[in-house]
Each structure stands twice: as structure tokens, then as C-alpha cells.
Structure 1
């Protein structure tokens, strides 16, 4: 089965998920590639349509063991027509819980035919020099794995004549899904005098929680604790306050030091 184009969809506030999906795309190695980065609010205003002649790869980070709640509406508006699809989740070395199963279920309901799924590890949003959690991941080994996964995807596609030969893909998980897609609403960011009001944090915020005129003003009701503003600040002027988020970072640093490796799943594909 040949595909006319490759569509990559990612939500990646700190760049880890985007790095993984780009690694997979290198392995697939298709001439026609469209990257749809839905990190910024404006990008999530445009619904996605796909056909059976395209391959759709969707990658999202794991939040509280689930697909991020703010993406659910956009994902449920996808209009696909027997589109072969690949589901990717990226988690911070703890567990991915039922996020991969949830993403697969969503895409199936929208008209996709999931043929492969994978869970990768990225540096945790709460990771810092004080409390490193999966620091600097995805690393070279992860990206090599992603590229290999991409090559395997293409081999599988070329081995079938149509999506009719792609059987159901079984992903481990539970119903109802574990975890809670509802995020914390908490004031956890400290801003030092090093802040120059450059606006980079406001521009990069995936939910528009930071005032573009005064970056000291943060709406905790909108904030998704992705920590992109902390990681992207060129002056290192933003840090975590003492409180529940920092406490969580300390627990994760202590409990999840052992390196976890990526895992992938393929559907049973009949030759045809």
C-alpha cells in the first residue's frame, strides 16, 4: 500500500514530543510531509481532515496518565476516512497509564485505522537541575529507536494492498481509564528580578496563560503546569515555588530514577 502523504500532528510545549515524531518521520522517509503542530492555541482552531491515501501520526505528551484534556475537543473533531494511523505518547519516565489506549480509541472513533502505537520517554515537565527526571531525553538512543520504528511502519504499510488488511490493534490498558485528565490549578512559578519582559514565555505558552504585556501575570486556571515558560526563559528567571508542584518533582526524582525504554506495538497485518 502506497501513501500519498504523511501528516504529523504533535502537541509539544517543551519540544520532547516534537523531537520523537520528527525521528519517526525520518524513518518513514516520505517525500511529502506536513507537520501540524497544535501546541499554540491558534493552531487548535483548525480541524483536521485526512483520507485513506495518507498516513497520520499523532503524538501527545502524557498528563496525569491521560491524553491532555485540552486536546480532547480538537482530537474529537478529526475527520478521517479509513486513514492508517500511528499513535504516540511521550511520558516523563513514570508510567503512561492508559494514555496510549485512550489516544488509539479516540482516533479509531474518528475514522482512523491504527496500525501501530508507541510510548516514548521525554524529560519530565517538572525536571530541573535540582530535581532531574529523565533529563535530556529523548536522547540519541531514543531518537534512533524512533527512526527504526518509522522504518518498521513503512515496511508494514508496503506489505499490504489496503487498510482492509490491517487488523485490530491491542493496547494494554483499562476501562474506565486510569488517571485524571483534570490538571492542577496552582500558583507555582516564581519570577526573579532577572526577568526582562522579553515575552518569550507568553509567546510559547500553549494555553495563553501568561499576560503578553506583563509576564509576571499568570492565570492559574489556564495553566497546565507544562513548565515550558520555565524551560524556555533565556534569563532563567522563572523557577518553581515551594509547594505541591515542587513536592511532586522531588518525589518523581526520587522514585523514578531507573531508566525506562520506549515500547511499540503493531497490529497483525495480513499480506495482501
Structure 2
């Protein structure tokens, strides 16, 4: 099957999902036009994506409490695809991806995509810190090798078929109806120390515009999705987790899920 272009879509507040999708793209190595649409920032999510059967779409999203994040779900449901061969990828913080991969696959099928491959990768958990390490520094070299290998297998599959009609549906783990809630807690959990210089990096990095550009101590907890990008990207390390609900969750995950998990593929 001839593919004229490769389109990559990712939501990646802390960069882990972006790194994975780039690794997969290197493995696919199509000698075609490649377009990257990073929908992390609010303005990027104003764009609507349209794709055809002559394009290969790769969509990678993080797992939030075992599900596709609500705001990502909303954007994905605006895609207009026309029998587009699609790769579904979720990235989780070494706990579990639960129903997220099945949910992502279902969303994209409804939008006109034809899933040809699915995968779950591991990235450093959003709640990970020096106090509560969870999958630190992942994706690492081994993860990226897996990503490139997965990309090569996708390419082999595409070359082995003459048309999208030859693709049969694949089973991936998960339950339907999906379990749990996609909405995150509304909680004041970020402490800002005197080291804050009001540089504005955190406000710029926030994927939902929850941080005031003039005063980075002002955080809209209604908008916040607990991605911790502001904590991880602060050049002064001025933001940390306050004691409470989120930090307690970080401690639990750090203690319970120490054993390294590996990427899984469905082709």
C-alpha cells in the first residue's frame, strides 16, 4: 500500500509522549512528507485534522487515571478521517494503561480511522519527583529502541498489503463501558517558593492556560489537569507538590509500582 504522507499527533505536557512518537516515526522511515501536530498547547487544539486513505496517521496520548484525557478526547472527536490507516499509542507512568488504549482505538474508529497497529509505552509519571520517583527518565534508550522497532513493524505491515480493505480489526486490552472518570481532581496542590522569579515559563508550558502570566502563584484549579508540566519545567525548581491528595497519590504509586514495565505492541 502506497502512503503519500505521515501525520503525527500527540498531546505531551511533559514531553514523554512526544519523544515516543518521534521514535516510532524514525522506525517507520517513510520517504514521504511528514507533518507533526502537537496539540499540547490550547492554540494547537483550535486546528481541525483531516486525513485520507493515502496518509498514515499516528496518534499518541498520555494515560490519565486509565483513560484518554478529557480535553484530548474532545479534540480527537473533531477529526475528519476517510479510511485512514492509523496507529494508536498510549503512554502511561508504569502503573497501568487500563482502558485507555481501547478507548483511543474506539474514538479514532468512529472518526473514520482504520487502526492498523496499537501500542502502550511507558514514560516518567507526571507525579514523579526526587521524593516519589516513578519510572524516572523514561522513555529511556531501551524504550526508544522499542519505539523504532515498532515503527519498522508498522512499515512492514503497510508494505505487505495492497489496500486498507485488507486490514482486519485487532483486539487490545480494556473494558467497555470504560471504567473510572476522565475528569481530574479539582485541587490546590502546587506550592510556589521564594525562588520563583516570575519568568513565565510555567504559564507558557501549561497546556490549559491555568497559570497567570503576571503572577505564577495564581493557578486556576478548575482548569488544571494535574499534568505537573509547571513543576517539571520550572528553571528555578520553585514549584513543588503540597502535602495532600495529589502528593499522597504520588507516594502510593511510587511505592506500589516500582517494578519496571515494558512496552507492548498489537499488530
Shorter-chain TM band: over 0.9
Question: Which deviations, in whole Å up to 9, do the C-alpha atoms of 1:42-95 show, x marking residues without a partner?
Answer: 000111000000000000000011000111221011000000000000000000
Q: Is the 8 A contact 1:4 1:53 kept in 2?
A: yes
Aligned to 2:201: 200
| Aligned ranges 1:192-271 → 2 under 5 Å | 192-266=193-267
Q: Is the 8 A contact 1:115 1:166 kept in 2?
A: yes
Q: For the residues of structure 2 that align with 1:246 and 1:171, how far apart are their CA atoms?
A: 32
Shift in Å, 1:179: 2.4
Question: Which deviations, in whole Å up to 9, do the C-alpha atoms of 1:94-127 show, x marking residues without a partner?
Answer: 0000000000000000000000000000000000
Question: Which deviations, in whole Å up to 9, do the C-alpha atoms of 1:172-206 show, x marking residues without a partner?
Answer: 21111112101000000000000000000000100
| Aligned ranges 1:92-241 → 2 under 5 Å | 92-241=93-242
Q: For the residues of structure 1 that align with 2:181 and 2:117, how far apart are their CA atoms?
A: 25
Determine helix, strand or coil for the equivalent of 1:119.
Answer: strand
Alignment RMSD (CA, Å): 0.6
Question: Which deviations, in whole Å up to 9, do the C-alpha atoms of 1:129-164 show, x marking residues without a partner?
Answer: 111000000000000000000000000000000100
Q: For the residues of structure 2 that align with 1:184 and 1:61, how far apart are their CA atoms?
A: 17
* 167-176 or 254-263, which deviates more: 167-176
* Runs ≥4 residues deviating over 3 A: none
Aligned to 2:21: 21
Determine helix, strand or coil for the equivalent of 1:25.
Answer: helix
Question: Which deviations, in whole Å up to 9, do the C-alpha atoms of 1:237-256 show, x marking residues without a partner?
Answer: 00000001000000001000
- Structure 2 length-normalised TM: 0.99
- Structure 1 length-normalised TM: 0.97
Shift in Å, 1:213: 1.1
Please state if 1:77 is matched with 2:78.
yes
Q: For the residues of structure 2 that align with 1:179 and 1:101, how far apart are their CA atoms?
A: 14
* 144-153 or 24-33, which deviates more: 24-33
Q: For the residues of structure 2 that align with 1:99 and 1:179, how far apart are their CA atoms?
A: 11
Q: For the residues of structure 2 that align with 1:136 and 1:95, how far apart are their CA atoms?
A: 18
Structure 2: segments with no counterpart, 5+ residues:
none
